[in-house]
């Protein structure tokens, strides 16, 4: 029965306005609290931004993957904000030392990517270990543009890095783009798009630093490729289709207006002939 409720909730969220996604999600959780964990892990919501006071107020992105209680871990200082108590921190998730070094490198690299491709915005990378696997790990790469605007772009890349053999690695990435556009006339266009990709690459033997650089390079190239494909898909398919529908509706409206004007003129001529 819970699976049927979950499917019904997901089906409902797909049909509701994306602008109210967070409030709709919260309403469903209040209606059926047993679905909270599944819904929060399955539904991507627009990213929020916080400032890290330990790094001169540098901004970072918040999502379910860096949250503990009501606090979020900053990728810059590796601290939770708002700050947690010592007892809470003892139970809070942190990456291992080696994974933290990789996380720092990935954040620096993706920050350069963000600056080159987005020319602004905020980026964050978070990583965590995969249970029962010594070398495997997972993480998320986040980008947000337009945090201070009514229009925004959120790009969420959840990935797994799975080792197959001693020198072969599989990167599985699930990418979600959440887009909202709103102009001065309050005309809004919003939606999201999700794609899954998989890439297999060789992992050279050597030092930890070399391995980390290879991981970041492989993840960066895969994310660059999938983001380019999804941007083109949004621009060529969805935007062009929206323009076609708009122009068709506008032309139909113009034709209807002309027909009404002709009828009005005929009526006036008929009255003048009386």
Q: Is residue 6 assigned to a domain?
A: no
Of residues 12 and 265, which shows the higher confidence score?
Answer: 12
Please give the span between the terminal C-alpha atoms of the chain, in angstroms, as a whole number. Answer: 73
Contact residues for 227 (Cβ-Cβ < 8 A; gap 6+): 117, 155, 175, 177
Helical spans, DSSP H, in 118-162? none
pLDDT of residue 35: 81
pLDDT in tens, 137-153: 999 999 999 867 777 88
Q: Is 102 exposed, middle or buried (0-12, 13-18, 19+ CB in 10 A)?
A: buried
pLDDT in tens, 172-188: 999 999 888 776 566 66
pTM, two decimal places: 0.80
DSSP β-ladder status, 80-81 and 71-73: antiparallel
Residues of the domain holding 136: 44-245
pLDDT in tens, 64-78: 899 998 899 999 999
Q: Is residue 99 assigned to a domain?
A: yes
Instruction: Please give the tally of structural domains in the chain.
Output: 1
Q: Is residue 169 assigned to a domain?
A: yes
CATH code, domain with 133: 3.90.1150.210
Q: Is residue 149 assigned to a domain?
A: yes
Selection from 115, 130, 112, 122 nearest residue 216 by Cα: 112
Instruction: List Cβ<8 Å contacts ≥24 apart for 202-210.
Output: 202/167, 202/168, 202/169, 203/163, 203/167, 203/168, 203/169, 204/167, 205/166, 205/167, 208/98, 208/101
CA angle at 49 for the pair 120 and 40, rounded to the nearest 5°: 125
Say yes or no to pLDDT of 194 above 90.
no
Dist CA 140 CA 126 (whole Å): 5
Dist CA 210 CA 93 (whole Å): 26
DSSP state of 273: T
């Amino acid at each position: 029965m819970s699976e049927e409720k979950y499917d019904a909730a997901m089906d409902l969220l797909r049909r509701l306005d994306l602008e109210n996604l967070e409030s709709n999600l919260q309403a469903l959780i209040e209606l059926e609290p047993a679905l909270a964990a599944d819904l929060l892990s399955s539904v991507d919501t627009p990213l929020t931004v916080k400032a890290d006071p330990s790094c001169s107020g540098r901004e970072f992105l918040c999502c379910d993957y860096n949250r503990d209680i009501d606090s979020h871990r900053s990728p810059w200082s590796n601290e939770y904000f708002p700050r947690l108590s010592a007892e809470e921190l003892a139970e809070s998730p942190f990456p291992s030392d080696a994974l933290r070094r990789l996380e720092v490198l990935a954040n620096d690299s993706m920050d350069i990517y963000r600056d080159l491709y987005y020319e602004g915005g905020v980026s964050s990378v978070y990583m965590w270990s995969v249970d029962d696997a010594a070398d495997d790990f997972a993480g998320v790469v986040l980008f947000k543009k337009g945090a201070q605007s009514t229009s925004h772009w959120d790009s969420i890349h959840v990935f797994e890095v799975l080792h197959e053999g001693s020198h072969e690695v599989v990167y599985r990435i699930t990418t979600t783009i959440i887009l909202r556009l709103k102009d001065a006339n309050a005309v809004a266009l919003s939606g999201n798009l999700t794609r899954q990709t998989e890439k297999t690459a060789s992992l050279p033997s050597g030092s930890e630093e070399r391995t980390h650089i290879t991981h970041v390079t492989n993840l960066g190239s895969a994310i660059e490729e999938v983001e380019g494909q999804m941007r083109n898909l949004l621009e060529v398919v969805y935007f062009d289709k929206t323009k076609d529908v708009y122009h068709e509706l506008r032309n139909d409206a113009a034709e209807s207006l002309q027909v009404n004007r002709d009828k009005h003129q005929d009526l006036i001529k008929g009255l003048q002939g009386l």
